[in-house]
Amino acid sequence: MQILGCTCRGGDYQNLQHLGKPITLRHLATHRSGLPQDFAYTSADIKSGKAFELFSNYSKAKFFEDLAQYQLTSTPGQTFQYSNVGANLTGYILENVYNRPLSTLVAQLITEQSGEEHTRFRLEPSEISKITRGVDRNGKIAPLLSPHSFAEGGLTSTAASIADYMQYLFSTQAEEVLLSRTLLTETSSEHGHAFFWNTYEYHSANPMFYHSGGSIGTSTWLALYPKQKLGIFIANAIVEKYEHAKR
């Protein structure tokens, strides 16, 4: 699963290794690549309020330009560091391998199988206007990140579609679904990581697979207990009093 030592988009990316050890897909899937959280903006940009503007104008070309210049400071596989850059790189690798857009791959391999009607990339403007929007730390209606996102958060969905997704994961024996639950790393006797899933008590009778995340003004949490066929989904959009939230 080595991704280095080959030419990709006009560059050899020999910088994506540290002490002779290159980044692999396993490192990307477990956030142990050594890549930063984001390229588009920094923590200082968040504090100054510039992050959304920088993020919304960030391009695929700039991503690969930054990727070619980034210097790893830790050996891949060594340290957990949540990385949207790594998630996006995984998406671009899949597009390159299958020669299809990620949105098509998600539809063909996931949502068409699960029956999800409202989980997809790149919504139309009329659909975007119906998304519930929370507020930022200053109480202002927050902008949406999903229209500008890629593999790290470009999907939008509904509670009903998430329920269909969970039901599909519990009922299918598809090889790719079972493979996605393979434990790849363990940070302790209780916590670990599968393919972009966090795991809890993986070796117990009732292991949990979960993920959480958020954008400006919203947060979500999804947990699966496959052996119990139990799923929990929580979505939170903080809406300022007296403000109308479109749904």
pLDDT above 90 covers a percentage of the chain that reads 72
Where are the chain's structural domains?
1-99, 118-247
SS3 content of the chain, % helix, strand, coil (to 5): 35, 20, 50
CATH architecture of 118-247: 3-Layer(aba) Sandwich (3.40)
**Which of the four pLDDT bands, split at 50, 70 and 90, describes residue 242?**
very low
Torsion angle in degrees (nearest 10) through CA of 151, 155, 161, 162: 50
Average pLDDT over residues 42-66: 93
For the cut 50, the answer to whether the pLDDT of residue 241 exceeds it is: no
Average pLDDT over residues 66-94: 96
The pTM assigned to this predicted structure is 0.89
* Contact by Cβ (8 Å): 103, 120: yes
Close Cβ partners of 196 (under 8 Å, ≥ 6 residues apart): 29, 30, 87, 180, 211
For the cut 90, the answer to whether the pLDDT of residue 46 exceeds it is: no
Q: pLDDT value at position 11?
A: 59
Identify which has the larger pLDDT, 199 or 43.
199
Take residue 132 and report the two structure tokens written for it: 């519930």
Of 172, 166, 175, 155, nearest to 106 (Cα)? 155
Identify which has the larger pLDDT, 190 or 5.
190
**Which of the four pLDDT bands, split at 50, 70 and 90, describes residue 39?**
very high
Q: pLDDT value at position 1?
A: 38
Q: Residue 4, SS3?
A: coil
d(C-alpha 230, C-alpha 134), whole Å: 28
pLDDT above 70 covers a percentage of the chain that reads 91
* Beta strands 230-237 and 218-225, pairing class: antiparallel
Take residue 169 and report the two structure tokens written for it: 């994961």
Take residue 182 and report the two structure tokens written for it: 């393979």
